[in-house]
Amino acid sequence: MSGGGRAGSPGGTVVRAIGWLVLLGVLVYLPQTYEAVQVKLFIDVLCLAFAAIGLNLLTGFSGLISVGHGAFFGLGAYTTAILVAEHGWPHPAALVASAVAAFVLGVLVGLPALRIKGLYLALVTLALATLFPEFVKRFSDVTGGTQGLRVPKVTAPDWTGLDNDQWQYYVVLTLLVVAFVLVRNLVDSRVGRALIASRDNETAAETMGVHLSLYRVLTFGISAMLAGIGGALLVWKDNFVDPGQYGIDLSITILVAVVVGGAATLLGPPIGAFFVTFLPEWIPRQYPELSPVIFGGSLIVLMMVAPGGVMGLVRRSRTWVGRRLGARAGGPPPATTGDALASRS
pLDDT of residue 61: 92
pLDDT of residue 3: 39
What does the radius of gyration of the chain's CA atoms come to, in whole angstroms?
Answer: 21
3-state percent helix, strand, coil for the chain, nearest multiple of 5: 80, 0, 20
| 208 band by pLDDT with thresholds 50, 70 and 90 | confident
Of 43 and 119, the one with more pLDDT = 43
Of 1 and 59, the one with more pLDDT = 59
Q: Is the dihedral of CA 60, 61, 66, 69 positive or negative?
A: negative
| 10 band by pLDDT with thresholds 50, 70 and 90 | low
pLDDT tens-place string over residues 314-323: 888 877 877 7
Of 147 and 331, the one with more pLDDT = 147
* Mean pLDDT of all residues in 45-60: 96
pLDDT of residue 199: 87
* Mean pLDDT of all residues in 65-91: 95
User: Are 137 and 246 within 8 A, CB to CB?
Assistant: no
pLDDT of residue 340: 41
Of 299 and 108, the one with more pLDDT = 108
Q: Which of 126, 47, 61 is nearest to 263 (CA)?
A: 61
Please determine, for residue 293, whether its predicted confidence score (pLDDT) is greater than 90. no
Q: How far apart, in Å, are the Cα atoms of 201 and each of 121, 194, 343?
A: 18, 10, 19
Please report which residue ranges of 189-290 form alpha helices under DSSP H.
190-200, 202-207, 212-238, 248-261, 268-282
| 11 band by pLDDT with thresholds 50, 70 and 90 | low
* Mean pLDDT of all residues in 196-213: 81
Which residue type is seen at 5?
Answer: G
pLDDT of residue 14: 83
Please determine, for residue 210, whether its predicted confidence score (pLDDT) is greater than 90. no
* Mean pLDDT of all residues in 174-200: 91
**Residue 53, φ and ψ in degrees, nearest 5:** -65, -40
Q: What percent of the chain has pLDDT over 70?
A: 91
| 337 band by pLDDT with thresholds 50, 70 and 90 | very low
Q: How far apart are CA 303 and CA 172, in angstroms?
A: 30
pLDDT of residue 339: 43
Please determine, for residue 103, whether its predicted confidence score (pLDDT) is greater than 80. yes
* Mean pLDDT of all residues in 300-309: 84
Of 328 and 79, the one with more pLDDT = 79
pLDDT of residue 319: 79
Left if phi > 0, otherwise alpha if psi is -120 to 50, otherwise beta: which for 218? alpha
User: Are 68 and 109 within 8 A, CB to CB?
Assistant: yes
Which residue type is seen at 175?
Answer: L
Q: How far apart are CA 170 and CA 161, in angstroms?
A: 13
User: Are 61 and 192 within 8 A, CB to CB?
Assistant: yes
Mean pLDDT of the chain: 87
Q: Which of 178, 235, 171, 204 is nearest to 28 (CA)?
A: 171
* Mean pLDDT of all residues in 243-265: 93
Q: Quick check: helix, strand or coil at residue 161?
A: coil
pLDDT of residue 295: 77
pLDDT of residue 338: 40
Of 7 and 39, the one with more pLDDT = 39
pLDDT of residue 291: 74
pLDDT tens-place string over residues 116-151: 878 888 898 999 999 999 999 999 999 999 999 999
pLDDT of residue 202: 81
* Mean pLDDT of all residues in 311-331: 77
Residues in the chain: 345
| 330 band by pLDDT with thresholds 50, 70 and 90 | low
Please determine, for residue 2, whether its predicted confidence score (pLDDT) is greater than 70. no
Residues ≥6 apart with Cβ < 8 Å to 3 = 9, 11
